[in-house]
Amino acid sequence: MAWRGQLTKNLRELRFLFCQSSPASSSARSFVENNYKELKTLNPKLPILIRECRGTEPQLWVRYDFGVEKGIRLEGLSEEQIFKALKEFAKL
Amino acid sequence: MGLGLLASRALRPAASRLLRYPPRHGLARAIGSTPERQSPEASAAQAQPDPAPELPPRKPVAGARVHLPNPEDAIEVFVDGYPVKIPKGMTVLQACEVAGVDIPRFCYHNRLSIAGNCRMCLVEVEKSPKPVASCAMPALPGMKIKTDTPIAKKAREGVMEFLLMNHPLDCPICDQGGECDLQDQSMAFGSDRGRFTEVKRSVVDKNLGPLVKTVMTRCIQCTRCVRFATEIAGVQDLGVLGRGSGEEIGTYVEKLMTSELSGNVIDICPVGALTSKPFAFKARNWELKGTETIDVTDAVGSNIRIDSRGPEVLRILPRLNEDINEEWISDKTRFCYDGLKRQRLNDPMIRGADGRFQAVSWHDALAMVGEVIHKVGPEEIVGVAGKLSDAESMMALKDFLNRMGSNNVMCEGNGKHPNADLRSGYIMNTGIAGLEKADVFLLVGTQPRVEAAMVNARIRKTVRATHAKVGYIGPPTDSNYDHEHLGTGPQTLTELAEGRHPFCSTLKNAKNPAIIVGAGLFEREDSDAIFSAIETIAKNGNVVRPDWNGYNVLLLHAAQAAALDLGLVPQSPDSIKSAKFVYLMGADDINLKDIPDDAFVVYQGHHGDQSVYRANVILPASAFSEKEGTYENTEGCIQQTLPAVPTVGDARDDWKIVRALSEVAGVQLPYDSVGGIRSRIWTVAPNLVSVDEREPTTFSTTTMRPNTNQKISPNDFGMAVENFYMTDAITRASKIMAQCSAMLLKK
Ligand code: SF4
Ligand code: FES
């Protein structure tokens, strides 16, 4: 779990995009709802942008130094799977 | 974007309108006439043989919608034989509008109280001995209203003749000519000859200040301006003096009209008595090309129409948008346009060894910047977006500097450590129109009257209509509605958060409490602590519920919301103090003393304002009236500007400059069209792409934000806007705004 406090080491920005109501986005929504506070407390300096827009596919984007970005679709992913994806991103 | 695209964009609305609504009759639409009325025989033929059921339904005037809150309260009246259902309490004039008949009027205005003194709206009502003034007469069940009988026509003709008796025949030199209600209605309803041989009366003109020109002889005493000033603007400056033929509109004693909304009397005056002073004798309204765009001088995003002739913006008028500015705009919005042609930067320039600027080609300027940016370390590069920047250019700037290795891109006015995580934490969650539902307001460190005049007008409207209570924390201020001054600084805030303040119970007992926080607080060192105190107040006062989110931040600048949405958050707050390369994209209000002396400063912008004095290279950009750009207003509504006039000199759109520079610097951005940049924005903040929409927020900051261990400092809240008339590069370059600040802001 320690890696969750180390996000700022490689990541410069974290972005969750989802739709406010669609069922496809529900897992992303609940992930943010359950984990945002903890992630932000552990990484107070990291911008965790939560952006909602009707009809958007749930996505997670990360930005590294030199503007390199990586993204993943979150549709159908469980909370653990999202954490796993985030961990992968943070490792790089 | 090519010229062809521009042209097609400009043509599109007109063309599609033509296609969709083929002209139904040869004549242009005259005021107060329905097609049926323009050919009396046809309508008679239609109306007589078969009564109600088979009549084609008429369209309500200007798409007026009737909202029937409960169907039992609906009544039925007959307008020229057509049955219409209207809610109880509507006037005869409104009933006619619903039935599709536009009644001529001068004094009636649907946002003002009813005066009923011009008599132009006379109609015949069955069983009433005399024609009645429809604007002041409530409609009653079963009323049979007749709007085009000989009696009604004769009554209008008579009223018109009386009005014209004392109205000067100076249409050829009157600025209202061509858009004058009196002119139009005398053509439509007046007599074809005059019988007046006496001398006309004349009235001394009044001095209402640098914005409104008066020719009081033209006044028809409709008192719209008086009602506007007292009801909407909230200043008791105008009034009616004298009686009978000596009646005039004036200020009692020689006094300027000191309201931030005074320009609107120009629009509501049905004749040429009140016209725009800066626009006087500049153009005829039919020579002008109108471009529907939005305003960027504050964070409201008022809908405006820019009227231009050739390369010059000649005036700015409001456009109707019920959700944002209704049909008003502030004086700053309306009169800042002369700043668009003063102090403009029109060539790329490089500061030479002697400290003077030398005009150079784009190629040389970009090559120089591209060279310098590679000589500094990535963490020494800082970018600052100005308060007028559009979303596209901020996206390009952020991407460019990110690619150069810098993570320090920020936006003016958002403070050193902005929290851009949750949108509900920095926008007005109730929406501007939603403020009307609130019954208690708590204003924290904000003076809406100078920060966002249109939001203030909404609050005033609510206070007037429902006697909503207003509590205010901040320095003493001149507000135009009743408010309770709770305190001047964070101390009162703490008291409220701890429930020790009497206002807490007011907040708790309210049905829809609204807290409005000023964005001026972003700049405070203890902003996190302040915001967490406010969130506590919101939690205790039950301000955020599933059906009502009364937690609002009132932003100051047009760029702020979009900048936060795009994540313009600097990695280290004080990066500018150790910067070697500073990219100012229209940023004129940063503290230039913070920039180290040996830093290389690039200023990209449209005005030679404060930052130009520190710049090493100037890259000229186009202003909001010359480009297509996306802006997000304080309630999170996305809107776009459209180019109304060509840009000056060699200036280019902001995002194009950044894009070109990225290529020169060897980190080419992957997009080269507006479409491309918008799809990029779509992966950062998709809400910025849905134009004219407000995306509701899912999570409220009151529950999501982690606790802070910052301490609140005891320093009082300051004024975020010192001078309402001059807040940005455009308004500071404007002569009219300078006059206003000199004359109207007498301390
Ligand atoms: S000045 Fe214009 S708005 Fe005011 S009363 Fe006269 S005609 Fe009406
Ligand atoms: S509009 Fe009815 S009296 Fe003036």
Contact between B373 and B599 under an 8 Å Cβ cutoff? The reply is no
**Closest listed ligand to the CA of B249:** 1
Strands (E), B326-419: 349-351, 357-359, 381-385, 409-411
The topology (CATH level 3) of B428-541 is Dimethylsulfoxide Reductase; domain 2 (3.40.228)
Mean pLDDT confidence for B572-596: 92
Q: What is the mean pLDDT of chain B?
A: 89
Statement: residue B129 has pLDDT above 60: yes
* Å from CA of B275 to ligand 1 middle: 10
Closest residue by CA, ligand 1 atom 2: B269
pLDDT value for B743:
87
Q: How far, in Å, from the CA of B219 to the mean position of ligand 1?
A: 5
Mean pLDDT of B308-317: 95
For range A55-65, the mean pLDDT:
94
Q: From the CB of residue B654, how many other CB atoms can be counted at a distance below 10 Å?
A: 28
In the A/B pair of chains, how many CB contacts fall below 8 A? 87
Is B649 within 8 Å of B346 (Cβ atoms)? yes
Cβ of A40 within 8 Å of Cβ of B706? The answer is yes
Q: Which residues of A touch B (CB under 8 A)?
A: 12-13, 15, 17-18, 20, 29, 32-33, 36-37, 40-41, 44-45, 47-54, 56, 59, 61, 63, 65-67, 69, 71
Contacts of A65 in chain B (CB under 8 A): 378, 405, 407
> What whole-number percentage of chain A has pLDDT above 90?
82
Say what the pLDDT of residue B61 is.
75
Higher pLDDT, B70 or A3: A3
Indicate the DSSP class of residue B550: -
Domain with CATH 3.40.228.10 in chain B: 428-541
Segment A11-39 mean pLDDT: 93
Q: How far is B633 from chain A (nearest CA, A)?
A: 16
Per residue in B155-190, pLDDT tens?
Answer: 999 999 999 999 999 999 999 999 999 999 999 999
The dihedral of CA B653, B658, B661, B667: what is its sign?
negative
Ligand nearest to the Cα of B205, by number: 1
Q: With a cut of 90, say whether residue B36 has pLDDT above it.
A: no
What does pTM read for this prediction? 0.89
The answer to whether the Cβ–Cβ distance between A49 and B567 falls below 8 Å is yes
Of A17, A29, A63, the CB nearest to B402: A63
- Residues of chain A with pLDDT > 70, as a percent, come to 98
Nearest ligand 2 atom to the CA of B108 is: 1
Cβ contacts of residue B590 below 8 Å, gap of 6+? B384, B412, B576, B584, B611
Q: What is the pLDDT of residues B614-651, one digit of tens each?
A: 999 999 999 999 999 999 999 999 999 999 999 999 99
pLDDT at B42 over 70: no
Q: Do B686 and A37 touch (CB under 8 A)?
A: no
Q: How does DSSP classify residue B233?
A: I
From the list B181, B62, B187, B79, the residue with the least C-alpha distance to B123 is B79
How many whole angstroms separate alpha carbon B311 and alpha carbon B333?
Answer: 19
Q: Mutate which of A16, A17, A53 to test chain B, going by most B C-beta atoms within 10 A?
A: A53
Secondary structure letter of residue B232 according to DSSP: I
Looking at this protein, which amino acid is placed at residue B657? Answer: I
Distance between first and last Cα of chain B:
48
Please name the member of B403, B685, B698 whose beta carbon is closest to the beta carbon of A67: B403
Instruction: Say how far apart CA B473 and CA B456 lie, in whole Å.
Output: 16
Across residues B422-431, what is the average pLDDT? Answer: 94
Partner-chain residue, chosen from B378, B567, B705, that has the shortest CB–CB distance to A13: B567
Considering chain B, tell me which residue range(s) the CATH 3.10.20.740 domain(s) occupy. Answer: 58-165
**SS3 assignment for A21-74:** CCHHHHHHHHHHHHHHHHHHHHCCCCCEEEEECCCCCCEEEEECHHHCEEEEEC
Q: Given CA atoms B499, B505, B506, B509 in this order, what sign does their dihedral have?
A: positive
CA pair distance A10, B601, nearest whole angstrom: 29
Which CATH topology does B349-414+560-688 take? Rossmann fold (3.40.50)
Give per-residue pLDDT as tens, B688-735.
999 999 999 988 888 888 888 888 999 999 999 999 999 999 999 999
CATH 3.40.50.740 range(s) for chain B read: 349-414+560-688
Joined tokens for residue B723:
């001078």
B586 vs chain A: nearest CA distance in angstroms?
Answer: 23
CATH architecture assigned to A2-91: 3-Layer(aba) Sandwich (3.40)
The pair of structure tokens assigned to B54 is 């088979």
pLDDT of residue B459: 96
Tokens 């979303």, residue located: B391
Q: Provide the pLDDT confidence category of residue B137 given band limits of 50, 70 and 90.
A: very high
CATH code matching the domain that covers B58-165, chosen among 3.10.20.740, 3.30.70.1400, 3.40.50.150, 3.30.1050.10: 3.10.20.740
Any idea where the domains of chain A sit in the sequence? Answer: 2-91
Give residue ranges with CB within 6 A of ligand 1: B 219-225, 249, 269-271, 273-274
Q: Tell me the mean pLDDT in the region B102-110.
A: 94
